[in-house]
Amino acid sequence: MKRVPAKKSTLLRKSTRSKSKKTAKTPFGRLLLYTLGILFVVTIVGGLYNYRHGLLYFLGFKTDRSTSELSEEERKIEDIRIFEVLSRHDTKLVGFDVSEYQEKIEWEKINTIEEEFPLSFVFIRATAGSNKIDARYKENWKAAKEHYFVRGAYHYYRPNENSIAQADHFIKNVRLRKGDLPPVLDIEKLPKNQSIDSLKVGLRRWLKRVERHYKVKPIIYSGQSYYTDFLKDEFKEYPLWIANYNFFVERIQNDWLLWQFTEKAQISGIKGMVDVNVFNGNKEDLKAITIK
């Protein structure tokens, strides 16, 4: 194959660079570069302004926070986001959820998150599947009441197990009283041995059976993508508790009853990281949905 002479290639590159320099020197070129520069600066400043409270808060007196299971930088970023989200929801209630994975909880130490935002309610895992009882359900359930948290119980649904057996297992182990939150169905996994349609039938059976027993409509907990892709069309009538940890999601949506916005919070009295939730309302709104 005949090669193109190197000299010609060199001349072509020089010509291209010459044209680029010429374009940059034109009034339009300078205006374009100036505009792009301004947009870049505005974006950076806007981002810093948007998270100004969290940055100042963390830099001011949060530099001695323990890093738990995150790196130091990851911990800083998560603390900033938590503070920002809670600051934007200062008229809403804040709560958390726990299970045996948090081990022994020192309930007397639990009061606020980020040393500023009061914790008002807690969801406690009670059961999973058709036979699992959370190892710390009974002690957490009792302690939450003793320490004046509005409490709720949730069931971790296993798609490949019988839905009625799971509902009966929850009912057998969870006694809801006046002032407790409605029961919660936690669905996160896709089935292995059944279709999505069969999964929906099972979920509907669980929800109906539990609703008949407690005389209140259960809450559905799921990730936003999971709910949108598989459940939204058929289960719109149920109160919704959404898990979405996206850093750029800043506010709870109108159709969410609860928003679990982080799984990496730190709360005094609880080892490791904790899920934290925003309730879409105030104390009166929370009281209105409790068991009568």
Active site residues: 97, 188
Nearest to 91 by CA among 288, 278, 282, 262: 282
Collect all residues with Cβ–Cβ distance below 8 Å to 8 and sequence separation of at least 6. Answer: none
Neighbours of 153 (CB within 10 A): 24
Report yes or no: 226 and 196 within 8 Å, Cβ to Cβ. Answer: no
Pair 83, 114: CB distance under 8 Å: yes
> What is the rounded distance in angstroms from the CA atom of residue 2 to the CA atom of residue 58?
65
Bridge partners of 151?
Answer: 122
Neighbours of 175 (CB within 10 A): 10
What is the C-alpha separation between 279 and 281, in angstroms, rounded? 6
How far is the C-alpha of 74 from the C-alpha of 265, rounded, in Å?
A: 12
Q: What angle do CA 224, 205, 170 make, to 5 degrees?
A: 85
